[in-house]
Amino acid sequence: MRTIVNNRAVEYSDEGTGPAILMLHGWADNLHTFDAIVQELPGFRIVRLDMPGFGQSERPNETWGVVEYARFVEDFIKKVQIDPQALIGHSFGGRVIIKGVGVGIFAPQKIVLIASAGVARKTTLKSIVLRVIAKIGKVLTLIPPFSLYRQQIRKKLYGALGSDYFAAGSMRDVFLKVVREDLIEYARQIRIPALLIWGRRDSSTPLSDGEKIRDAIRQSEMQIIEGASHFVHQEKPREVAQLIREFI
């Protein structure tokens, strides 16, 4: 399904009947990331969207940060006329929920954060050195014969940085603005029940990040799923859905 929000085409899905749940996907992902757990959650009206710049939705014209995404989701909620009882977010989607609830943009009864992002990385000597190397490598790719292998070299360099920067493509400025913001202070402002679901083997948003977010949110509980990684909701959909049902 498609709709127009703030003059921007947005892809979304709206299925089921019952209490409304809004699901927000992670970075470089789309609404279909939740397909498996949606099938395990009968009795709810589940709304999902491709956030701007991802999936089939148009990208932002400006360099958005987390709050701009939260404001857009707020406008989307008004456009499709839902009053979500719960917000569920994976990774970047969790980041948007933390900021949105923390500043009062969203007012759900409960939130579920699945492998949520939101803890900024500290700058280390290793990361500084890698970034310098990446910048030098970027210049080298403009010079023959290195220019013939530009994409491969850049992918290797950005992969060494351990980030999604290379994959961000035209959204790189947005990516940098988003990941540089630490949301722990906003998490401390959340006054509603929160369920955190984490995969034990998550290396993208490690368990230590989840523990920091859990400690910041007063009414929070954390469930750790063994053998799962960052996409725990896809790897263990029945377990994740069961936790969500019991919580909501």
Q: Read off the pLDDT of each residue in 170-193 and give the average, rounded to a whole number.
A: 94
| 91 shares a domain with 14 | yes
Pairing relationship of beta strands 8-15 and 194-199 according to DSSP bridges = unpaired
66 in Cβ contact with 183 (< 8 Å)? yes
Q: Per residue in 80-107, pLDDT tens?
A: 999 999 999 999 999 999 999 999 999 9
Report the distance separating Cα 110 and Cα 192, nearest Å. Answer: 6
Q: Which DSSP string corresponds to 153-185?
A: HHHHHHHHTTSSTGGGGGGHHHHHHHHT---HH
| 198 shares a domain with 155 | no
| 45 shares a domain with 103 | yes
pLDDT at 157: 55
pLDDT at 139: 54
207 part of a folded domain: yes
pLDDT at 191: 97
% of the chain exceeding 70 in pLDDT = 81
71 in Cβ contact with 60 (< 8 Å)? no
The answer to which of 8-22, 53-67, 116-130, 208-222 has the lowest mean pLDDT is 116-130
| 131 shares a domain with 105 | no
Eight-state DSSP code of residue 156: H
Q: Read off the pLDDT of each residue in 163-180 and give the average, rounded to a whole number.
A: 77
Helices 150-160, 125-140: axis angle to 10 degrees equals 180
Report the distance separating Cα 149 and Cα 143, nearest Å. Answer: 10
Q: Per residue in 24-67, pLDDT tens?
A: 999 999 999 999 999 999 999 999 999 999 999 999 999 999 99
Largest CA distance in the chain: 61
Q: What's this model's pTM, rounded to 2 decimal places?
A: 0.85
| 187 shares a domain with 163 | no
pLDDT at 121: 78
pLDDT at 7: 95
Q: Which secondary structure element, helix H or strand E, spans residue 20, and what is its range?
A: strand 20-24
Q: Which secondary structure element, helix H or strand E, spans residue 214, and what is its range?
A: helix 207-216
Looking up tokens 């910041």 gives: 216
- Please state the domain count of the chain: 2
CATH number for the domain that contains residue 106: 3.40.50.1820
Q: Read off the pLDDT of each residue in 137-164 and give the average, rounded to a whole number.
A: 56
| Total number of residues shown for the chain | 248
Query: Could you list the residue range(s) of the whole structural domain that residue 147 is in?
Result: 125-169
| 192 shares a domain with 103 | yes
Q: Which residue has the higher pLDDT, 159 or 73?
A: 73
pLDDT at 145: 66
pLDDT at 130: 44
| 148 shares a domain with 38 | no
For residue 128, pLDDT over 50 is answered with no
Query: Of 169, 198, 229, which residue is a domain's last?
Result: 169
91 part of a folded domain: yes
Read off the tokens for 2.
């498609």
For residue 2, pLDDT over 80 is answered with yes
pLDDT at 127: 45
Mean pLDDT of the chain: 88
Q: Which residue has the higher pLDDT, 155 or 87?
A: 87
228 in Cβ contact with 235 (< 8 Å)? yes
